Structure 1
Amino acid sequence: MGVGEINRTQLPKKSGQVAPLILGLQPSALIDHVAKVDSSLLDRIPGDKGGSIPVAFEGLESILSEVKSADDPSPINTLAGGSVANTIRGLRVGFGVTCGIIGARGDDEQGRMFVSNMLSSGVNLSRLRTKEGPTAQCVCLVDAIGNRTMRPCLLGAVRLQPDELTIEDLRGSKWLLVRYAFHNLELTRNAIRLAKQEGMSVSIDLASFEMVRNHRSSLLELLKSGDVDLCFANEDEARELLSGEPKDGPEAALDFLAKHCQWAVVTLGPNGSMAKHGEKIVRVPATGETQAVDATGAGDLFASGFLYGLLKGLALEDCCKVGACSGGAVIRSLGGEVRPENWQWVYKQMNTKGLPAPKLANHVIIKDD
């Protein structure tokens, strides 16, 4: 772990500077190493295929070595990652929403890589601390049908501590995005408490089915607090949320989440998504016929599109449709970042469906609708 704050990464907030509309809390900056692999390699790695369990640095290095020494090695795509960063980057690049990241990065090559990638995407990093120590990393292994297996290396990585978060980090913004993680629970609770003091809305992503399974009671407590306005869960996370209950499927999870959050969303992969707001329930199919190259970031980019829809005041169904477009775009290439040509695909899909695409060609930036 780092030994205290050294400096802010970029552009100290100036008097009168407009705060980003949306802030993402990612305690540890993260670098993703994404590669296509044969299923036989996945058989040699501990843990469930398709899941996300932490590994030590030696384990991460061992997996990367396995990838590089394969009979037909795949190129490794290295870029800034993390669920919150993926969503924030998608909102900024694809939808023109002013966004920032709250967290910490190490004073190493990976930390500098994270900064470079996010700054080039236009994300505000004035709330990102730089600390002595390593930046978190994650290996993302993608099989032949596009399913991904994640092995994050977080042990020893620098991260933002609960007492380092201040009300000034949040002041002036409208939304706070968080990802549920038990090891960051105290920070998450503090961030939500401060966000509510500032009158902000809070969105949470349920992270992984393992996280829900292993730390369900704390998650339920957080949801039942009434402080979470929007919750995103995928189908596997939804099943774990109510595991052991008489009704434990995605539909039951959607109903449960909607009792405690204004908006509840359950994504169903190729089967689309469903969402609930008040008594309104919608089901929306996935967009496009393209075979998934890599499912990494699909849920994160769905959240980008859904949040854009909320900011534009779209109907619940249309929010899901925009999410389906952006989520469908990221799976067309490796990694959690949508390529420029795939953003053009998103806008074409939106226009076809009668959805308001952002006017990025005219440099229109959404500040507050």
Structure 2
Amino acid sequence: MTQTPAQYDVIAIGNAIVDVIAREDDAFLATHALTKGAMQLLDAETAEFLYDAMGSAVEISGGSAANTLAGMAAFGKSCAFIGQVRDDQLGQVFAHDIRALGIAFDTPVRTQEPPTARCLIMVTPDAQRTMNTYLGASQFLPALALDKTTIQAAKILYLEGYLWDPEEPRAAMRTAIGYAKEAGRKVAFTLSADFVIARHRADFLALIEEGLIDILFSNEDEIRALTELESLEAAIAAIAPKVPVLVCTCGAEGAIAIVDGVRSETTAAPVAQIVDTTGAGDLFASGFLTGYVDGLSVEDSLKLGAIAAAEVISHYGARPEADLKLLRAQQL
């Protein structure tokens, strides 16, 4: 197949969320029965109640796949995003923020309830983040919102596992996979969270078995959940032969990649102080994908992922603040 030149390095489909980040202590988590370090989904009423209970907060656009694109854009890559917002204040905030990064965002806005999604993030003094997400409008992304030509104009289609949960965007992502494969493009998928895997494990395994996933991102807990194996090495061994590229992050222990059967590893990049782990996996993916599209070695792509992850955990929020291009030049 002769491919037309790519307009974008990556186009991603994910939740269009505004993060609301506040410093809270363990007592606040206990008072509101929140599991430290976990992510839970909220209904509209609970989201409003918890928002009112939070202390002073910073509001910044987020969403897993959108965070990954923010990192790639900071590395100088050309990106586009597909996600659903409502025509409300937070929807305007999200659209402004992502476009300000140079990321194309042309998904038509939703003109009816529910409102734009938000993630209420409590960061405790030990830098652990407890995430409470109201998905709102993001879970109503329709397949009709997809532009086939735009999807096929990207080297890689990157899909956020979180968005596989609701029916409408799940159908949209299946459609997008078909568009990308028709054009001979790569499909990357991030497993996102254990609870998503618990609900859609059969779907994810089917995508892998059918050869529809070219690059699979996971952390150590997620790949164990996917394979239902206790041993990390056994879980990696079960999945690696089925995808051309498997990337598994292991927190402070670094990360592993198996590419066409060859294993590479990296250590975690040093951080003077861990402030907020929100977005660490998202930014790791941004660094790895940047290296991948730039034709770097697997080892250097992993290192670039570690550099991006280290930068984002050194401050509040899931978007990079330092010059990632400069960090790449200095550390790689």
Q: Deviations over 1:202-223 (max 9, x none)?
A: 1111111111123222221122
- What amino acid is aligned across from residue 308 of structure 2 in structure 1? S
Supply the distance in 2 between the matched residues of 1:47 and 1:254 (Cα, whole angstroms).
31
SS of 1:145's equivalent? Answer: coil
Partner of 2:165: 182
1:284 aligns with 2:266: yes
Q: Name the residue aligned to 1:48.
A: 35
Q: Does 1:239 align with 2:227?
A: no
Per-residue Cα deviation, 1:20-74 (whole angstroms, up to 9, x for no partner) = 2210112x42111111211122223446322222101221122222222xxxxxx
- 1:21 counterpart (2, 9, 21): 9
Deviation at 1:312, TM superposition (A): 1.5
Amino acid at match of 1:53: Q
Which residue does the alignment assign to 2:26? 39
Q: Report the residue type matching 1:118 in the other structure.
A: I
Q: Distance in 1 between matches of 2:6 and 2:287?
A: 23
Bigger fraction of residues in helix: 2
CA distance 1:118–1:264, change in 2 (3 Å): same
TM-score (norm 1): 0.82
CA contact (8 A) 1:50 1:150 kept: yes
Q: Which residue of 2 aligns with 1:154?
A: 135
The 2-side partners of 1:218 and 1:285 are apart by: 32
**CA-CA distance at 1:108 after TM superposition:** 0.2
Map of 1:137 onto structure 2: 118
Alignment length, in residue pairs? 323
CA contact (8 A) 1:202 1:228 kept: yes
* 1:110 corresponding residue in structure 2: 90
Distance 1:329 1:58 in 2: 35
Distance 1:310 1:157, change over 3 A: closer
Q: Secondary structure at the match of 1:295?
A: coil
Question: Alpha-carbon deviations, 1:313-338, whole Å to 9, x = none?
Answer: 11111110000000110011111111
**1:186–1:249 distance in 2 versus 1, CA, 3 Å:** farther
C-alpha RMSD over aligned residues: 2.1
Q: Which residue of 2 aligns with 1:347?
A: 326
Residue 329 of structure 1: aligned partner: 311
User: Residue 170 of structure 1 contacts residue 198 of structure 1 at CA under 8 Å; is this kept in 2?
Assistant: no
Letter of the structure 2 residue corresponding to residue 42 of structure 1: L
How many angstroms apart in 1 are the aligned matches of 2:180 and 2:266?
Answer: 31
3-state SS of 1:265 partner: strand
* Deviation larger for 28-37 or 320-329: 28-37
Partners of 1:205 and 1:46 in 2: how far apart?
28
Which letter maps to 1:182? D
Cα 1:30–1:278 shift into 2, 3 Å: same
Moved more, 282-291 or 199-208: 282-291
* 1:66 correspondence with 2:53: yes
Letter of the aligned partner of 2:207 in structure 1? L
Residue among 26, 36, 60 paired with 1:79: 60
Counterpart Cα distance in 1 of 2:208 and 2:196: 15
Cα distance change of structure 1 residues 266 and 170 upon mapping to structure 2, 3 Å threshold: same
Aligned twin of 1:230: 215
Q: In structure 2, what residue type is equivalent to 1:57?
A: A
The structure-2 alpha-carbon separation of the partners of 1:47 and 1:38, relative to structure 1 and needing over 3 Å to count, comes to closer
What is the aligned partner in structure 2 of residue 97 from structure 1? 77
1:197–1:229 Cα change, 3 Å? same
Q: Which residue of 2 aligns with 1:360?
A: none
Q: Secondary structure at the match of 2:320?
A: coil
SS across alignment from 1:23: strand
Structure 2 letter corresponding to 1:230: I
Partner of 1:253: 235
- Quote the Cα distance in structure 2 between the aligned partners of 1:177 and 1:227: 12
Q: Is the 8 A contact 1:203 1:229 kept in 2?
A: yes
1:44 and 1:225 mapped to 2: Cα distance? Answer: 46
1:171 shift after superposition:
2.8
Asked if structure 2 preserves the Cα contact closer than 8 Å seen for 1:102 and 1:169, the reply is no
Q: What is aligned with 1:272?
A: 254
- Contact persistence 1:24–1:85 (CA under 8 A): yes
Q: Which amino acid aligns with 1:220?
A: L
Other-structure match for 1:124: 104
Answer yes or no: is the 8 Å Cα contact 2:81–2:103 preserved in 1: yes
Q: Which runs of 5+ in 2 are unaligned?
A: none
Match of 2:297 among 296, 311, 315: 315
d(CA) in 1 for partners of 2:143 and 2:186? 20
- 2:118–2:136: 8 Å Cα contact kept in structure 1? no
